[in-house]
Amino acid sequence: MEWTSYLPPLLEGAWVTVQLAVYSTVLGAVFAFAAGIGKLSHNRLISGISVVYIEVFRGTSLLVQLFWLYFALPVAGQIIGIDLRLPPVVAGILALALNIGAYGAEVVRGAIQAVSRSQREAARALNFTPRQTLRWILIPQALPEMMPTFGNLAIQNLKDTALVSLISLGDLAFRAEQIRNFTQDSTTIYTIVLFMYFGMALVLTAMMKLLERSVGRWRTAGT
């Protein structure tokens, strides 16, 4: 078989990988902001939940989390009488997002805490509510500091999408394994797949750089 005949099914898988990466990164960013800001909350309950979430998802393996959501959660649902069987796509996106969100949360928290004290005091003097301070003072200045690390996390997440092939989701890694089982032409297939992931990572890096630049205009002149 010609190596070009591998491309259509592999590209189909690559498209699934792209979608997985986009959805889980966006959802992961939501989790990251929720838990990162939550950890700074004065409400003990909210900060407690955030800390537990961050520690659990940073302290265990992504594959363990994925298997837990896909294999164990339905059993847990059975015990309490709720149907918690997730389709592979949902389990995959959720596991990736929860995992990357926990790492992102620490970045969000760190960047918000790094905004200088005088900025908070000025906001307070101007009678900003805590919510307004967060929305208009802290986040706009913290975002540029978060972006480089977010870029690394997005690449990490793209690579991690390969693991969802293990719960039978038809992504690039899954298609590669399928074709290999059929043709036994491992060297060609895995070389192509490695370069496809590399290409996607390069595009993602370039996109994150653009985003970094557009957010960078919020950087204050003084700091």
Partner 1 sequence: MLFGIEWDTSSEWAFAVSILPILLIGMWVTIQATVLGFFVAMVLGLILAVLKAAPLRIVSWPARALTEFIRDTPLLIQLFFLYYVLPEYGIILPAFLTGALALGVQYSAYTSEVYRAGLEAILSGQREAARALNLSSVRTFTHVILPQAIPRIIPALGNYLVSIMKDVPVLSVVTVLEMLNVAKIIGDRTFDYMVPLSMVGGLYLIMTLVASAGVRYLDVMLPKRGFPLR
Distance between CA 137 and CA 128 in Å, rounded? 9
| 86 in Cβ contact with 69 (< 8 Å) | yes
**One residue of 138, 160, 167, 169 binding partner 1 per CB under 8 A:** 160
Part of the chain binding partner 1 (CB under 8 A), chosen from 7-15, 105-113, 134-142, 155-163 = 155-163
Query: What phi and psi, each to the nearest 5 degrees, are found at residue 200?
Result: -60, -40
Q: Which two tokens stand for residue 88?
A: 């592979």
Give the distance from CA 3 to its chain's centroid: 33
Part of the chain binding partner 1 (CB under 8 A), chosen from 126-134, 142-150, 153-161, 208-216 = 153-161
Where residue 216 falls (left for φ over 0; alpha for ψ -120 to 50; beta otherwise) is alpha
Q: Which is nearer to partner 1, 135 or 159 (CB)?
A: 159
For position 187 contacting partner 1 by CB under 8 A, the verdict is yes
For partner 1, what does the binding mask look like between residues 75 and 104, x meaning CB under 8 A? xx--x-------------------------
For position 173 contacting partner 1 by CB under 8 A, the verdict is yes
Give, as one character, the DSSP assignment of residue 198. H
Residues in CB range of 144: below 8 A, 6 or more apart:
212, 215, 216, 218, 219
Q: Which two tokens stand for residue 101?
A: 């969100």
For position 177 contacting partner 1 by CB under 8 A, the verdict is yes
Distance between CA 205 and CA 154 in Å, rounded? 8
For position 5 contacting partner 1 by CB under 8 A, the verdict is no
For position 201 contacting partner 1 by CB under 8 A, the verdict is yes
Q: Which is nearer to partner 1, 51 or 134 (CB)?
A: 51
Q: Where on the chain is the footprint of partner 1 (CB under 8 A)?
A: 55-56, 58-65, 67-68, 71-73, 75-76, 79, 155, 159-163, 165-166, 173, 176-177, 180, 186-187, 190-191, 193-194, 197-198, 201-202, 205
